[in-house]
Amino acid sequence: MTRMAAAHAQSLLRAQEATLVAVSKGQSEEKIRQAIHAGVRGFGENRVQEAQDKWARVWCDFPAAHLHMIGALQTNKVREAVKLFDAIHTVDRKSIALALAKEMQKSGKRPSLFIQVNTGEEPQKSGVLPQDASAFITYCKQELELPVIGLMCVPPVSHHPAPHFALLKNMADAHGLTQLSMGMSGDFETAIRFGATHVRIGTALFGERDARM
Ligand SMILES: *Cc1c(COP(=O)(O)O)cnc(C)c1O
Protein backbone atom coordinates (compact mmCIF):
# COMPACT_ATOMS: atom_id res chain seq x y z
CA MET A 1 0.00 0.00 0.00
CA THR A 2 1.29 3.39 -0.85
CA ARG A 3 -0.19 6.74 -0.05
CA MET A 4 -0.09 7.49 -3.75
CA ALA A 5 -2.13 4.42 -4.63
CA ALA A 6 -4.82 5.27 -2.11
CA ALA A 7 -4.96 8.93 -3.05
CA HIS A 8 -5.05 8.05 -6.73
CA ALA A 9 -7.85 5.50 -6.27
CA GLN A 10 -9.89 7.97 -4.23
CA SER A 11 -9.62 10.77 -6.76
CA LEU A 12 -10.51 8.43 -9.63
CA LEU A 13 -13.57 7.18 -7.79
CA ARG A 14 -14.68 10.65 -6.76
CA ALA A 15 -14.71 11.58 -10.40
CA GLN A 16 -16.99 8.60 -11.03
CA GLU A 17 -19.05 9.20 -7.89
CA ALA A 18 -18.30 5.70 -6.64
CA THR A 19 -17.39 4.95 -3.03
CA LEU A 20 -14.16 3.15 -2.26
CA VAL A 21 -14.45 0.24 0.14
CA ALA A 22 -10.81 -0.59 0.89
CA VAL A 23 -10.82 -4.32 1.59
CA SER A 24 -8.54 -4.71 4.59
CA LYS A 25 -9.17 -8.40 5.37
CA GLY A 26 -5.85 -10.15 5.88
CA GLN A 27 -3.96 -6.85 5.95
CA SER A 28 -1.88 -5.54 8.82
CA GLU A 29 -2.93 -2.78 11.16
CA GLU A 30 0.06 -0.82 9.89
CA LYS A 31 -1.24 -0.83 6.31
CA ILE A 32 -4.70 0.14 7.49
CA ARG A 33 -3.28 3.09 9.39
CA GLN A 34 -1.37 4.18 6.29
CA ALA A 35 -4.56 4.05 4.24
CA ILE A 36 -6.37 6.18 6.81
CA HIS A 37 -3.54 8.71 6.68
CA ALA A 38 -3.97 8.76 2.90
CA GLY A 39 -7.61 9.71 3.38
CA VAL A 40 -9.43 6.38 3.07
CA ARG A 41 -12.42 6.16 5.43
CA GLY A 42 -14.40 3.07 4.39
CA PHE A 43 -12.96 -0.41 4.87
CA GLY A 44 -14.21 -3.91 4.08
CA GLU A 45 -13.75 -6.95 6.30
CA ASN A 46 -15.05 -10.48 5.78
CA ARG A 47 -14.82 -11.95 9.27
CA VAL A 48 -16.50 -10.56 12.35
CA GLN A 49 -13.83 -11.83 14.73
CA GLU A 50 -10.90 -10.46 12.73
CA ALA A 51 -12.63 -7.11 12.30
CA GLN A 52 -13.36 -6.89 16.02
CA ASP A 53 -9.76 -7.57 17.03
CA LYS A 54 -8.07 -5.28 14.52
CA TRP A 55 -10.49 -2.40 14.59
CA ALA A 56 -10.83 -2.13 18.38
CA ARG A 57 -7.25 -0.87 18.29
CA VAL A 58 -7.42 1.21 15.12
CA TRP A 59 -10.63 2.97 16.22
CA CYS A 60 -8.93 4.28 19.35
CA ASP A 61 -6.92 6.55 17.07
CA PHE A 62 -9.29 6.91 14.11
CA PRO A 63 -12.90 6.82 15.24
CA ALA A 64 -14.09 8.25 11.89
CA ALA A 65 -13.17 5.13 9.91
CA HIS A 66 -16.13 2.89 9.16
CA LEU A 67 -16.57 -0.73 8.23
CA HIS A 68 -18.41 -2.72 5.59
CA MET A 69 -19.09 -6.42 6.08
CA ILE A 70 -18.33 -8.15 2.77
CA GLY A 71 -18.09 -11.79 3.87
CA ALA A 72 -20.69 -14.47 4.50
CA LEU A 73 -22.53 -13.76 7.73
CA GLN A 74 -23.54 -16.42 10.23
CA THR A 75 -26.61 -16.00 12.41
CA ASN A 76 -24.58 -16.36 15.60
CA LYS A 77 -22.47 -13.37 14.54
CA VAL A 78 -25.34 -11.05 13.73
CA ARG A 79 -25.32 -9.19 17.05
CA GLU A 80 -21.64 -8.31 16.76
CA ALA A 81 -21.99 -7.50 13.07
CA VAL A 82 -24.78 -4.99 13.69
CA LYS A 83 -22.62 -3.39 16.35
CA LEU A 84 -19.43 -3.22 14.25
CA PHE A 85 -20.49 -2.46 10.71
CA ASP A 86 -22.04 0.56 9.03
CA ALA A 87 -23.05 -1.55 6.06
CA ILE A 88 -23.55 -5.26 5.46
CA HIS A 89 -23.20 -6.31 1.80
CA THR A 90 -24.02 -9.99 2.13
CA VAL A 91 -27.67 -10.47 3.10
CA ASP A 92 -28.61 -13.61 1.18
CA ARG A 93 -31.20 -15.71 3.02
CA LYS A 94 -34.29 -15.48 5.21
CA SER A 95 -32.62 -16.68 8.41
CA ILE A 96 -30.04 -13.89 8.22
CA ALA A 97 -32.64 -11.29 7.25
CA LEU A 98 -34.80 -12.29 10.22
CA ALA A 99 -31.88 -12.27 12.62
CA LEU A 100 -30.86 -8.82 11.38
CA ALA A 101 -34.39 -7.48 11.78
CA LYS A 102 -34.54 -8.78 15.33
CA GLU A 103 -31.14 -7.40 16.30
CA MET A 104 -31.84 -4.01 14.75
CA GLN A 105 -35.08 -3.79 16.68
CA LYS A 106 -33.29 -4.64 19.91
CA SER A 107 -30.22 -2.46 19.49
CA GLY A 108 -31.74 0.46 17.61
CA LYS A 109 -28.72 0.41 15.28
CA ARG A 110 -29.56 0.04 11.59
CA PRO A 111 -26.59 -0.56 9.29
CA SER A 112 -27.35 -0.18 5.58
CA LEU A 113 -27.92 -3.47 3.82
CA PHE A 114 -27.12 -4.88 0.40
CA ILE A 115 -28.64 -8.12 -0.83
CA GLN A 116 -26.04 -10.42 -2.36
CA VAL A 117 -27.09 -12.06 -5.63
CA ASN A 118 -25.29 -15.17 -6.89
CA THR A 119 -25.44 -13.98 -10.50
CA GLY A 120 -23.28 -16.87 -11.75
CA GLU A 121 -25.39 -19.46 -9.88
CA GLU A 122 -22.22 -20.99 -8.46
CA PRO A 123 -22.94 -23.67 -5.84
CA GLN A 124 -19.91 -22.74 -3.68
CA LYS A 125 -20.80 -19.06 -3.60
CA SER A 126 -23.12 -17.14 -1.28
CA GLY A 127 -25.98 -15.08 -2.56
CA VAL A 128 -29.62 -15.51 -3.43
CA LEU A 129 -30.17 -17.06 -6.88
CA PRO A 130 -31.25 -14.60 -9.60
CA GLN A 131 -34.66 -16.25 -9.99
CA ASP A 132 -35.31 -15.89 -6.24
CA ALA A 133 -33.92 -12.40 -5.86
CA SER A 134 -37.06 -10.43 -6.58
CA ALA A 135 -39.16 -12.20 -3.93
CA PHE A 136 -36.35 -11.99 -1.41
CA ILE A 137 -35.82 -8.27 -1.96
CA THR A 138 -39.55 -7.66 -1.49
CA TYR A 139 -39.57 -9.82 1.66
CA CYS A 140 -36.68 -7.88 3.20
CA LYS A 141 -38.02 -4.45 2.28
CA GLN A 142 -41.77 -4.87 2.75
CA GLU A 143 -42.22 -7.56 5.36
CA LEU A 144 -39.18 -7.00 7.55
CA GLU A 145 -38.78 -3.30 6.74
CA LEU A 146 -35.02 -3.73 6.63
CA PRO A 147 -32.86 -0.79 5.48
CA VAL A 148 -31.98 -2.38 2.13
CA ILE A 149 -30.18 0.17 -0.05
CA GLY A 150 -28.83 -1.97 -2.87
CA LEU A 151 -27.51 -5.19 -4.37
CA MET A 152 -24.10 -6.84 -4.38
CA CYS A 153 -22.45 -9.51 -6.54
CA VAL A 154 -19.16 -11.30 -7.10
CA PRO A 155 -19.05 -12.59 -10.70
CA PRO A 156 -17.47 -15.99 -11.42
CA VAL A 157 -13.71 -15.66 -11.93
CA SER A 158 -13.85 -17.42 -15.29
CA HIS A 159 -16.54 -15.20 -16.84
CA HIS A 160 -16.47 -11.75 -18.30
CA PRO A 161 -17.99 -9.71 -15.47
CA ALA A 162 -20.00 -7.29 -17.65
CA PRO A 163 -23.19 -9.38 -18.06
CA HIS A 164 -23.24 -9.99 -14.31
CA PHE A 165 -22.96 -6.30 -13.53
CA ALA A 166 -25.67 -5.53 -16.10
CA LEU A 167 -27.99 -8.13 -14.54
CA LEU A 168 -27.45 -6.69 -11.06
CA LYS A 169 -28.10 -3.17 -12.30
CA ASN A 170 -31.38 -4.24 -13.94
CA MET A 171 -32.57 -6.00 -10.81
CA ALA A 172 -31.73 -2.98 -8.66
CA ASP A 173 -33.58 -0.64 -11.02
CA ALA A 174 -36.64 -2.90 -11.01
CA HIS A 175 -36.83 -2.55 -7.22
CA GLY A 176 -35.96 1.12 -6.99
CA LEU A 177 -32.65 0.34 -5.31
CA THR A 178 -30.00 2.95 -6.05
CA GLN A 179 -26.82 1.36 -4.67
CA LEU A 180 -24.67 -1.28 -6.36
CA SER A 181 -21.76 -2.97 -4.61
CA MET A 182 -19.78 -4.50 -7.45
CA GLY A 183 -16.23 -4.46 -8.76
CA MET A 184 -13.00 -5.67 -7.17
CA SER A 185 -9.30 -5.14 -7.98
CA GLY A 186 -9.55 -6.95 -11.30
CA ASP A 187 -12.79 -5.54 -12.66
CA PHE A 188 -13.72 -2.30 -10.93
CA GLU A 189 -13.42 -0.16 -14.08
CA THR A 190 -16.00 -2.36 -15.80
CA ALA A 191 -18.20 -2.29 -12.70
CA ILE A 192 -18.15 1.51 -12.66
CA ARG A 193 -19.17 1.58 -16.33
CA PHE A 194 -22.21 -0.50 -15.36
CA GLY A 195 -23.18 1.77 -12.50
CA ALA A 196 -21.30 0.56 -9.42
CA THR A 197 -21.70 2.89 -6.46
CA HIS A 198 -19.41 0.90 -4.13
CA VAL A 199 -16.25 -0.81 -5.36
CA ARG A 200 -14.54 -3.26 -3.02
CA ILE A 201 -10.81 -3.10 -3.67
CA GLY A 202 -8.21 -5.06 -1.73
CA THR A 203 -5.01 -6.19 -3.42
CA ALA A 204 -4.83 -3.33 -5.93
CA LEU A 205 -4.57 -0.96 -2.95
CA PHE A 206 -2.76 -2.92 -0.28
CA GLY A 207 -0.84 -5.58 -2.20
CA GLU A 208 -1.15 -9.29 -1.49
CA ARG A 209 -2.88 -10.24 1.74
CA ASP A 210 -2.20 -12.95 4.26
CA ALA A 211 -3.05 -16.11 2.28
CA ARG A 212 -5.14 -17.59 5.09
CA MET A 213 -7.77 -14.86 4.72
C1 LIG B 1 -11.65 -10.16 -0.85
C2 LIG B 1 -12.84 -9.55 -1.45
C3 LIG B 1 -12.74 -8.38 -2.24
C4 LIG B 1 -11.43 -7.73 -2.61
O5 LIG B 1 -10.77 -8.48 -3.57
P6 LIG B 1 -9.47 -7.94 -4.33
O7 LIG B 1 -9.37 -8.80 -5.51
O8 LIG B 1 -8.33 -8.09 -3.37
O9 LIG B 1 -9.71 -6.52 -4.68
C10 LIG B 1 -13.93 -7.81 -2.71
N11 LIG B 1 -15.13 -8.36 -2.44
C12 LIG B 1 -15.26 -9.47 -1.69
C13 LIG B 1 -16.62 -10.01 -1.43
C14 LIG B 1 -14.13 -10.10 -1.18
O15 LIG B 1 -14.28 -11.22 -0.46
The residue whose CA has the least distance to atom 10 of ligand 1 is 200
∠ CA(47), CA(50), CA(54), 5° rounding? Answer: 140
User: Residue 86 and residue 127: Cα distance in Å, rounded?
Assistant: 20
Residue 46 Cβ < 6 Å to ligand 1: yes
pTM over cut 0.75:
yes
Contact assessment for residue 47 and residue 85, using Cβ atoms and an 8 Å cutoff: no
How far is the first Cα of the chain from the last one, in angstroms, to the nearest whole number? Answer: 17
User: Residue 50 and residue 31: Cα distance in Å, rounded?
Assistant: 15
Length of the chain in terms of residues written: 213
What does the pLDDT look like over 74-119, one tens digit per residue?
Answer: 999 999 999 999 999 999 999 999 999 999 999 999 999 999 999 9
Bridge partners (DSSP) listed for residue 66: 42
159: which DSSP letter? S
Instruction: Using the mean position of ligand 1's atoms as its centre, give its distance from the Cα of residue 209 in Å.
Output: 11
What does the pLDDT look like over 140-184, one tens digit per residue?
Answer: 999 999 999 999 999 999 999 999 999 999 999 999 999 999 999
Q: Which atom of ligand 1 is nearest to the CA of 90?
A: 13
Mutation test residue for ligand 1: of 23, 124, 152, the one with most atoms within 8 Å of CB: 23
